[in-house]
Chain A
Amino acid sequence: MLYGSMSDIKVTPLGAGQDVGRSCILLSMGGKNIMLDCGMHMGFNDDRRFPDFSYIAPEGPVSSYIDCVIISHFHLDHCGALPYFTEVFGYNGPIYMTHPTKAIAPILLEDMRKIAVERKGESNFFTSQNIKDCMKKVVAVTLHQSIMVDSKLEIKAYYAGHVLGAAMFWIRVDSQSVVYTGDYNMTPDRHLGAAWIDKCRPDILISESTYATTIRDSKRCRERDFLKKVHECVERGGKVLIPVFALGRAQELCILLETYWERMNLKVPVYFGTGMTEKANNYYKMFITWTNQKIRKTFVQRNMFDFKHIKPFDKSYIENPGAMVVFASPGMLHAGLSLHIFKKWAPNENNMVIMPGFCVSGTVGHKILNGAKKVEFENRQIVEIKMSVQYMSFSAHADAKGIMQLIQYCEPKNVLLVHGEAAKMEFLKTKIEKEFQLKCFMPANGDTCIVKSDVNIPSSVSLKLLKDEAKKSNILPPDPKRQRIIHGVLVTKDVSLCVMDVDDACKEAGINRHLIRFTSTLRLEDSGSPSKTAEKLLQLIKTKIRDLPLQFTDCTISVESVLVKVESSEDEMKTVYVSWDNQDEELGKKSS
């Protein structure tokens, strides 16, 4: 079902089609099927949380349909369903991700599993052992390394900036290629660099579009605004809750707050509320090569992830009087410590919650950001929200400008948007189609998008033609630093193609060669003798044709088969006769 015509590229989102969360996209080209990300949806607690894998192979074993799985980064909406896919659904083919992703993903998976199974009491979830077994199947890749999955399928990772270890992937089968961005960020921040890709001109660029309509104000303004709000709140004795995921934005905001506390000499306690503070920061210390230039340059003297002001949080501090700032996970207030603290602090108007990232619909974070004044919980508990709710986009996603920039960088033939909301995508789609004159697609989940692509047809070149050409230009061996044009005729022989010398091709086919010669007469206004005019023309031609021998006699200039002749006449108007063979069409155009 996934196979199609060899020249078509098919893309089917199982998740992240006109939606954020549960990224999982099927890509089919050149007879190969690739799964891009294998995420789960944080807004659902039922079947909808995992992608509908049964779509891939309703009957047979899934491994024979999928050639490889690529995971872009460690966020659960990109890798959360992986253990389910491999251990429960039975996929046992290769899985690729970067080293930091391979290190950090199992920690987050285990965290999520604990919350789901132990706190919410869910059954029918994958186990700790499932996570371990799944990670054993992962092949870790480094940036720019070219990996041959098999003899036809090649993949290569590029830096994406979004979180530690995030990567974009270039995927090639024969002459067709696709770039999948995962989540990316085009502006460097305090701990990561900007996404980068070379001009790889893929057939399709599959891009995230979380912030498709936003053009964010300068980062500096956002940071100043954030610090001002935090400072004002703690000054009036309020408590600030910042829900974050333990890894990612947390480190970015910690660096920001740490520097500010140091500069302003503040004494209000700052806590990092998760048992894995130190462990999380250790990953950053060991994968320092994945952070930005500034951190990499100074890490020997001072490791930016050794925080002086930020101390580990203990649950007993929740009831402490007075101001404090707490970073707590998870980031969308859908479970865990952050939600626990939120319930306690929400009824007090002195307090503040700052949502630094995107919240998928269905989460408490999403509700309060939409202005909910009361939130009801499972046990019919109703919490009144009196605390100030602030949203500040610190998610390291590319904004509209960034997405356009990436398109400019890699020059795709088509663009396909995923990981965004339909209405916003529509806007960006129009913009891309208008500005780049590219086709832009935005398939919904389960819809298949078919993109026609050009297929390269290899052809051989006759040895004689190459040798003659080399002799003619007198350079042996051919110099790749100076390119030349070769003349020949494309001949079909049985099933193969060959570029041959024109005369040889005619001889082989038994055809008499006919020549077409173009002639045109121009009239020029130029006083002086015809030879003067011819000389002027010669200088002009010399500037245009540099690498071929020119012959000049009397009033005639000749290059290859091109002839330029000034007719002898003493009056102001000169008649110039230009003639060329059709094989020297290019040259003839230049001369006339």
Chain B
Amino acid sequence: MIDFHYGTYVQYCLSGDPNKPCSILQFKGITFMLDCGLTAQTVLNFLPMPLVPSTRLDSLPGWMPRDCSDSQLERELKECCGRVFVDSTPEFQPPQSRIIDFSSVDVILISNYLCMLALPFVTEETGFKGMVYATEPTMQIGRMFLEELVENIEQTPRASFASRWKEFLHLLPQPLSNCHRPRTWKHIYNLTAVKKSLSHIRMVGYNQKLDVYGALTVMAVSSGYCLGSSNWVIDSGYEKIAYVSGSSTLTTHPRPMDQPALKNADVLILTGLTQTPTANPDSMLGELCMTVANTLRLGGNVLLPCYPSGVVYDLFECLSSHLDNSGMSTIPMFFISPVADNSLAYSNIFAEWLSTAKQNKVYLPEEPFPHAFLSRTGRLKHFKHIYSDGFSTDYRQPCVVFCSHPSLRFGDVILFMEMWGSSPLNTVIITEPDFVHVEALAPFQPLQMKVVHCPIDTSLNFTQANKLIRDLKPGTLVLPESYLHPPIIDPA
């Protein structure tokens, strides 16, 4: 709690994951929810959900704790290479609703499309009456993320759900036994809830001053992390709070980060720093291109589990030009996601939210991203699913496949893992930093295909964050607790 002259500032944290933040800020009698992130770590405890039944997964042995004879539990757990998984539709941990009643939230501020996946859990059937603010790309691309998540899970429906295991947590092996309050986990929402939830969003532009009950102004400023990503400035006219979430000072496709707007705040809330502090995004990108070229040269296929928007655009651009330079311009690239067509189309109409270099292209007029050209010329082919019209005729090996979902628990990516996993010629490259790659790959073991870990996280690293704090000179700094300790993998 921080005291100002006239108004107290209180903040609560509703999410344990600083990269999928969700917190409550009360200031001048107004209750804000800062971001609405949904941690998907919980899904790693579940077995993958393949579109067509997999004999390998089906024949995994069941697992039972010693000295336990619960008949219901028997069918719920399966063992794979010494790891125990729940054989059911994956569940998620929504933001905690015990601390605050969601119906009392006045305003939700969404920083970027990766921080809004819990929105239907907060706005639907909770009595929520407030307003949600987000930029247009955040809203449109966020919609794709939400829809993709729902479609991926809904395409493999199950007759029954496992829940008995939650009663026997103390008897289960790690990491299952470490699950945090699994009884509060929920199944994913449906498309109706997504649609209703998105209808609460009011689209805002960068540097648009929004009036909140005449007491505060709120303004989104560019954060440089992804298309439409923003930081927020909350201003009472006398006190200023800056909320920094998911920012980047690297030069990729988004508009650069606006730092002057965040200067001299009374309170700076900083979250969403890199999840891979030891990996340099540039060298990872270089390694990735090399790996892809080497695999293809030997006749193998490359699988890149990915989200439907974001770094994947940079990968299309870099990889296609690297393959051109390596004399492999005829190798097809496939982008498979229920929202692939939307993602490619929308990315090319958001010129106003892009870096100056990309923006200048529309003045010619040319599409800002080269993937428009790549898909026109047939170099990059996109499909909603692998069973969509035309995929089987276009498909030829060797090839590069970008496919969702990076957790490897749902989506068409599972089919490629099963199909290509047994050949050492093939390579899977893990780029998305949201999931620990060893955990994500565990239910597919033993794997013959090569696994290359090239995490690309463009968000601020700790050095950049420290420099930012020095430059911004906040009165008070508010951080997630975990940022106060050095990371376990890099104690220095």
CB of B352 within 8 Å of the partner chain: yes
Tell me the number of A-to-B contacts counted with CB atoms below 8 Å: 75
CB of B136 within 8 Å of the partner chain: yes
Given contacts A103-B365, A479-B29, 8 further A-B contacts (CB under 8 A): A99-B359, A142-B205, A145-B207, A286-B351, A287-B351, A289-B136, A300-B345, A478-B29
Residues from chain B with Cβ under 8 Å of A196 in the complex:
none
CB of A552 within 8 Å of the partner chain: no
Q: List 9 A-B contacts (CB under 8 A).
A: A140-B359, A142-B205, A143-B205, A145-B207, A286-B349, A286-B351, A287-B351, A480-B29, A480-B216
How far, in whole Å, are A287 and B213 apart by their CA atoms in the complex? 33
Contact A146 B209, CB 8 Å, known A286-B348, A480-B28: yes
List the 10 closest A-B pairs by CB distance, nearest first: A480-B215, A477-B7, A144-B208, A480-B213, A479-B29, A300-B345, A282-B365, A145-B207, A103-B363, A144-B205
Interface set, chain A 64-116, CB cutoff 8 A to B: 99, 102-103
CB of A466 within 8 Å of the partner chain: yes
Q: Is the interface of A mostly helix, strand, loop or mixed?
A: mixed
How far, in whole Å, are A466 and B352 apart by their CA atoms in the complex? 45
A72 smallest CB distance to B (angstroms) = 18
Per-position 1/0 for A431-456, Cβ under 8 A of B: 00000000000000000000000000
How far, in whole Å, are A144 and B349 apart by their CA atoms in the complex? 18
CB of B266 within 8 Å of the partner chain: no
Q: Is B204 a contact of A480 with CB atoms below 8 Å?
A: no
Contact A287 B362, CB 8 Å, known A99-B351, A99-B352, A477-B8: yes
Count of residues in A whose CB is under 8 Å from the partner chain:
27
A276 smallest CB distance to B (angstroms) = 10
Residues from chain A with Cβ under 8 Å of B365 in the complex:
103, 279, 282-283, 286
Q: Is B29 a contact of A477 with CB atoms below 8 Å?
A: yes
B386 smallest CB distance to A (angstroms) = 20
Residues from chain A with Cβ under 8 Å of B7 in the complex:
477-478
Interface residues in chain B, defined as those with a beta carbon under 8 Å from any beta carbon in chain A? 6-8, 28-30, 136, 204-209, 212-216, 219, 341-342, 345-346, 348-352, 359, 362-363, 365, 367-368
Residues from chain B with Cβ under 8 Å of A481 in the complex:
29-30, 213
Task: Kindly name the residue among B30, B212, B352 whose own CB sees the greatest number of chain A CB atoms within 10 A.
Answer: B352
Q: Is A145 a contact of B208 with CB atoms below 8 Å?
A: yes
CB of A167 within 8 Å of the partner chain: no
A56 smallest CB distance to B (angstroms) = 29
Q: Is A289 a contact of B349 with CB atoms below 8 Å?
A: yes
Which of chain B's residues has its CB closest to A284's CB?
Answer: B365
How far, in whole Å, are A142 and B353 apart by their CA atoms in the complex? 9
Residues from chain B with Cβ under 8 Å of A300 in the complex:
341-342, 345-346
Task: Kindly name the residue among B30, B363, B368 whose own CB sees the greatest number of chain A CB atoms within 10 A.
Answer: B363
CB of A497 within 8 Å of the partner chain: no
A375 smallest CB distance to B (angstroms) = 36
How far, in whole Å, are A401 and B359 apart by their CA atoms in the complex? 38
Q: Is A147 a contact of B207 with CB atoms below 8 Å?
A: yes
Which of chain A's residues has its CB closest to B137's CB?
Answer: A289
Q: Is A142 a contact of B352 with CB atoms below 8 Å?
A: yes
A97 smallest CB distance to B (angstroms) = 12
B317 smallest CB distance to A (angstroms) = 18
Residues from chain B with Cβ under 8 Å of A99 in the complex:
351-352, 359, 362
Which of chain A's residues has its CB closest to B217's CB?
Answer: A146
CB of A288 within 8 Å of the partner chain: yes
CB of A125 within 8 Å of the partner chain: no
How far, in whole Å, are A288 and B209 apart by their CA atoms in the complex? 24
Q: Is A478 a contact of B6 with CB atoms below 8 Å?
A: yes
How far, in whole Å, are A96 and B187 apart by their CA atoms in the complex? 49
How far, in whole Å, are A282 and B367 apart by their CA atoms in the complex? 9
Residues from chain B with Cβ under 8 Å of A103 in the complex:
362-363, 365
A186 smallest CB distance to B (angstroms) = 21
Residues from chain B with Cβ under 8 Å of A478 in the complex:
6-7, 28-29
Interface set, chain A 490-513, CB cutoff 8 A to B: none
CB of A409 within 8 Å of the partner chain: no
How far, in whole Å, are A146 and B233 apart by their CA atoms in the complex? 13
How far, in whole Å, are A102 and B209 apart by their CA atoms in the complex? 24
